[in-house]
């Protein structure tokens, strides 16, 4: 079975450019999570959706970051404009409804902003 699929796997972009990271959750999962991993701060939860609705975006660092989930099978995390300090690994994860507590992670999107 296909797991959580993220794209791109690696991206190098110039400061000021818009970056869009994509995630396809596992079919049937109704919760989706975006995480950012940096050396300084470890793995941080940015935002999570339940049934395509953003539930908690308190982890989103600033207004340059936005996330959408237009349907149950697709989500995007956008950074506009990007800055060098946004360089990190961004993980997407999905899970089954509450009470079935298994979460699956994508392989991550490695972002470098120069």
Partner 1 sequence: SQELEQSPQSLIVQEGKNLTINCTSSKTLYGLYWYKQKYGEGLIFLMMLQKGGEEKSHEKITAKLDEKKQQSSLHITASQPSHAGIYLCGADNTGNQFYFGTGTSLTVIP
What is the nearest approach in angstroms of partner 1 to the Cβ of residue 4?
Answer: 10
Closer CB to partner 1, 6 or 17, in the complex: 6
Cβ contacts of 96 within 8 Å, gap of 6 or more: 28, 29, 30, 31, 102
Tell which one of 55, 61, 81, 86 touches partner 1 (CB under 8 A): 55
Q: Point out which residues pair with 12 in neighbouring strands.
A: 112
What is the nearest approach in angstroms of partner 1 to the Cβ of residue 66?
Answer: 20
Per-residue mark of binding to partner 1, 79-98 (x: CB under 8 A): ------------x-x-x--x
> HSE on the CB side for 89, CA within 13 Å?
13
Torsion over CA: 47, 49, 50, 56 (sign): positive
Peptide bond into 94 cis (omega under 30): no
74 binds partner 1 (CB under 8 A): no
Binding residues for partner 1 (CB under 8 A): 31, 33, 35, 42-45, 48, 50, 55-56, 58, 91, 93, 95, 98-99, 101-108
């Amino acid at each position: 079975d296909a797991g959580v699929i993220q794209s791109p796997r690696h991206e190098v972009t110039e400061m000021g450019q818009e970056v869009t990271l994509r995630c396809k959750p596992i079919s049937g999962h109704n919760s989706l999570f975006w995480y950012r991993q940096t050396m300084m701060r470890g793995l941080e939860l940015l935002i999570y959706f339940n049934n395509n609705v953003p539930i908690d975006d308190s982890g989103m660092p600033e207004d340059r970051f936005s996330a959408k989930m237009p349907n149950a099978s697709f989500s995007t995390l956008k950074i506009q404009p990007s800055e060098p300090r946004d360089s990190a690994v961004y993980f997407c994860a999905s899970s089954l409804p509450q009470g079935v507590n298994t979460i699956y992670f994508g392989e991550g999107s490695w972002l470098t902003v120069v």
